């Protein structure tokens, strides 16, 4: 408990230093505050976004609505990537022969940046929620799939021998032995993918949608509001940080239960 | 004859070289016997155990248990592994429950059996702990409780105490001997520890490497209460040292 308090204090101090340096740069750096606004101005813009929305925008939605839309897209895309990534990963890890045929295709698709699909996706499925969700899915699916396959292949053979000696069926072996044995490694990839997905959510929304934090960024640029722009960027960062910390706590608890230490 | 190993060979092929892990092994084991497979690394003792347990396919020859040829592992014969094979994400209780979950027993029956066998190995107080919270000896006891919970006819034990300290190992050896008589199990026990083999076995099958062959079979005629310092014990131990050519000869040679 004291440790978390200390950690929180460290984080707060670090942010405070950043804000002070920022203000000093404005006060003594001779910056054009119309392009590079002060912390106070950004905070005011944040309050404005949160209460009245962005003036001059095509929509009068307030910040919370954009956050909500972004989060809904994010969780749909991310959960789909997690479910299908883990599901196919278990299957392909269990049948390595099949994986040797699928792997070349995966390796071909994987190095393509998820946003590269965006123009194609907009052509095929139009704008709205779907392109952003598809981008998040693409960003999350491949790393989760490959980690799961690897985790399944690396399951300690003694666990499989235990399954055999007690006569577990294949299905029982997969769900009672292989999945839990591979789970810490799979969950680690879920943690990493969460960050990646959040990054690509914003890119997805910048082109494909009419609401959300990515859209709001483009809107702030179009209405020449650098203060609102920075306020949205900071909001994206804070939500990303909270998501990462939350899943990090889960991962820690899992590692503890599995006996890998904190 | 309960377990019949008839002319069994196991050959591993890698690239163009082949390695004969077991070379024409013949062995008959009676029900209720405690057999130790003893030998240095690479003598094929674990291969032989795996073949009897159904984990390893034989290249030639046949193995039958109770008249049925062995082709794959069977739940009537349970293996206990050197590194315990406990599932780290399950509590002690849930580890023992694993083989019972697939047997269609009622929850109450499962709980009774778990309780009974954890008591037998003296770990009922630890049922909510996870394996990493136990010592090596306690972990192996959980593995033994889990194996016994399905009431197997045969226990295969693959160097089960090799990773334990000497005192814990002796305690578990006592427990295992008690088990073999009380629960009337046939036990096939792999070890490279000569004293362990002499202390435990009814018969010791001594294997030699390259290729894996039975070098000798030693009958251990000793009462149930075995004393590691008794003359009988030392006599049999010496006999095995001789088989391995490890006894220092003090031949008296006189040149006059």
- Domains in chain B, start-ordered, CATH in brackets? 31-58+66-76+153-256 (3.40.50.300), 87-151 (no CATH)
* A57 within 8 A of A45, measured Cβ to Cβ: no
B83–A contact, CB cutoff 8 A: yes
The mean of the pLDDT values for chain A is: 91
Of the candidates A162, A167, A259, the beta carbon closest to that of B75 is on: A167
Give this prediction's pTM: 0.83
For the stretch B8-66, pLDDT in tens is 999 988 888 888 899 999 999 999 999 999 998 888 999 999 999 999 999 999 999 99
Tell me whether residues A169 and B102 touch, CB distance under 8 A: yes
Mutate to test the interface with A, among B72, B73, B88 (most CBs of A within 10 A): B88
Mean pLDDT of chain B: 90
* The pair of three-digit structure tokens given for residue A218, joined into one six-digit string: 């483009």
Residue A262 has pLDDT above 60, yes or no: no
Per CB-CB distance under 8 Å, the chain A contacts of B55 are 161, 164
CA distance B139 to A195: 38
Which chain A positions have a beta carbon within 8 Å of B132's beta carbon? Answer: 259
Which domains can be identified in chain A, with CATH numbers? 56-257 (1.10.3720.10)
Q: pLDDT digits over B211-225, tens only? A: 889 999 999 988 877
CA distance A142 to A106: 7
pLDDT given for residue B1 in this prediction: 84
């Amino acid at each position: 408990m004291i440790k978390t308090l200390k950690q929180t204090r460290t984080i707060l101090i670090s942010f405070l230093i950043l804000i002070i340096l920022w203000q000093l740069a404005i006060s003594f750096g001779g910056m054009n505050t119309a392009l590079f606004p002060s912390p106070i101005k950004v905070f005011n813009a944040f309050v404005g976004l949160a209460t009245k929305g962005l003036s001059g925008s095509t929509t009068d939605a307030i910040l919370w609505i954009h956050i909500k839309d972004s989060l809904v897209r994010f969780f749909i895309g991310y959960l789909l990537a997690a479910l299908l990534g883990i599901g196919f990963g278990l299957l392909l890890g269990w049948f390595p022969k099949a994986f040797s045929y699928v792997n070349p295709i995966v390796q071909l698709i994987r190095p393509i940046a998820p946003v590269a699909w965006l123009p194609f996706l907009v052509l095929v499925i139009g704008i709205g929620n779907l392109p952003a969700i598809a981008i998040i899915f693409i960003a999350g699916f491949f790393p989760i799939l490959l980690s799961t396959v690897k985790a399944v292949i690396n399951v300690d053979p003694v666990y499989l021998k235990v399954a055999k000696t007690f006569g577990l069926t294949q299905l029982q072996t997969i769900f009672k032995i292989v999945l839990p044995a591979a789970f810490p490694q799979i969950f680690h990839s879920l943690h990493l993918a969460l960050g990646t997905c959040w990054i690509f959510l914003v890119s997805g929304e910048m082109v494909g949608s009419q609401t959300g934090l990515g859209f709001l960024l483009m809107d702030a640029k179009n209405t020449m509001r650098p203060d609102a722009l920075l306020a949205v960027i900071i909001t994206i960062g804070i939500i990303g940080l909270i998501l990462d910390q939350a899943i990090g706590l889960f991962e820690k608890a899992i590692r503890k239960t599995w006996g890998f230490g904190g | 004859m309960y377990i019949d190993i008839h002319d069994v060979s196991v050959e591993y092929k890698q690239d163009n070289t082949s390695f004969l892990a077991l070379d024409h092994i013949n062995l008959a084991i009676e029900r209720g016997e405690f057999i130790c497979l003893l030998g240095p690394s690479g003598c094929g003792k674990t291969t032989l155990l795996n073949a009897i347990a159904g984990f390893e396919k034989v290249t030639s020859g046949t193995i039958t248990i109770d008249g049925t040829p062995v082709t794959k592992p069977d739940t009537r014969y349970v293996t206990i592994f050197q590194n315990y094979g406990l599932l780290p994400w399950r509590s002690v209780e849930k580890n023992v429950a694993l083989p019972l979950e697939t047997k269609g027993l009622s929850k109450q029956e499962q709980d009774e059996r778990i309780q009974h066998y954890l008591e037998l190995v003296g770990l009922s107080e630890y049922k909510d702990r996870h394996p990493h919270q136990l010592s090596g000896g306690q972990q192996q006891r959980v593995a033994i409780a889990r194996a016994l919970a399905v009431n197997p006819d045969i226990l295969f034990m693959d160097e089960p105490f090799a990773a334990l300290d000497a005192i814990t190992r002796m305690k578990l050896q006592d427990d295992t001997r008690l088990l073999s008589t009380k629960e009337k199990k046939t036990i096939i026990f792999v070890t490279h520890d000569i004293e362990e083999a002499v202390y435990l076995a009814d018969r010791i099958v001594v294997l030699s490497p390259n290729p894996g062959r039975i070098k000798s079979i030693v009958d251990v005629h000793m009462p149930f209460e075995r004393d590691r310092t008794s003359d009988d014990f030392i006599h049999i131990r010496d006999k095995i040292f001789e088989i391995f050519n490890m006894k220092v000869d003090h031949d008296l040679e006189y040149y006059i």
